[in-house]
Amino acid sequence: MMSETAGQLQGGMKGSGGGMAGKLGYVLLYTVLIAVAVLQLFPLVWLLFFSLKNNQEVFNLPPLSLPMNPHWENYGKVWSAGNIDVYFINSVWITVAATALTVVLGSLVTFAVTRMKWKGSSIVLGLFMVAMMIPVHSTLIPLFSLFNNAGLIDHPLSLILTYVAFNMPITIMILLGFYYALPREVEEAAIIDGCSVNRMFFRIVFPMTSSVLATTAIINMIYNWNEFIFVNTFISSDAYKTLTVGVQNFIGQYTTDWGAIGATLMISILPILITFLFLSDRIVEGIAAGSVKG
Partner 1 sequence: MDKVMSNKKVIALYVLPALLLILAVVYIPIVLTGYYGLNEWNGIGAMTFIGLDNYQALIKDETFWGSAWHSLLLALFSGVSLILYLMVAMVLASRIKAANLFRKIYLIPMLLSSVAIAQLWLKIYHPTNGILNSLLESFGVANPPAWLAEPSLVLFALFIPILWQYAGFYILIYYAALKNIPASLEEAAKIDGANALQIAWKIKLPLAMEVIKVTVVLAVVGSLKYFDLIYVMTNGGPNGASEVMASYMYSEAFKSYDFGYGSAIGFFLLVICLIATWIIRKLTVTKDTIQYS
Site for partner 1 (CB under 8 A): which residue of 161, 170, 175, 212? 161
The mark string for 4-43 relative to partner 1 (x by CB under 8 A, - otherwise) is: --xx-xx------------------xx-xx--xx-xxx-x
Candidates 1-9, 76-84, 92-100, 202-210: pick the segment binding partner 1 (CB under 8 A).
1-9
Please, which residue, 37 or 239, has the CB nearer to partner 1?
37
Site for partner 1 (CB under 8 A): which residue of 225, 259, 263, 282? 225
* Pair 187, 204: CB distance under 8 Å: yes
Sign of CA dihedral 187, 190, 196, 198: negative
Please, which residue, 77 or 124, has the CB nearer to partner 1?
124
Q: DSSP code of 200?
A: I
Sign of CA dihedral 143, 148, 151, 154: positive
* Pair 75, 263: CB distance under 8 Å: yes
**Binders of partner 1 in range 54-93 (CB under 8 A):** 58-59, 62-64
CB atoms within 10 A of CB 221: 23
Q: State the helix-helix crossing angle for 258-292 and 243-253, rounded to 10 degrees.
A: 150
Q: Is 170 in the site for partner 1 (CB under 8 A)?
A: no
Residue 28 Cα distances to 92, 113, 243, 244, 264, angstroms: 44, 50, 42, 40, 39
Q: How far separated are the first and last CA of the chain, in Å rounded?
A: 34
Q: Is 258 in the site for partner 1 (CB under 8 A)?
A: yes
Site for partner 1 (CB under 8 A): which residue of 100, 115, 182, 202? 115
Smallest distance from partner 1 to CB 237, Å? 16
* 138: CB partners within 8 A, 6+ apart: none
Site for partner 1 (CB under 8 A): which residue of 54, 154, 155, 226? 226
Site for partner 1 (CB under 8 A): which residue of 78, 87, 98, 111? 111
Give me the amino acid identity at 10: Q
Site for partner 1 (CB under 8 A): which residue of 92, 146, 157, 204? 146
Site for partner 1 (CB under 8 A): which residue of 20, 137, 149, 185? 137
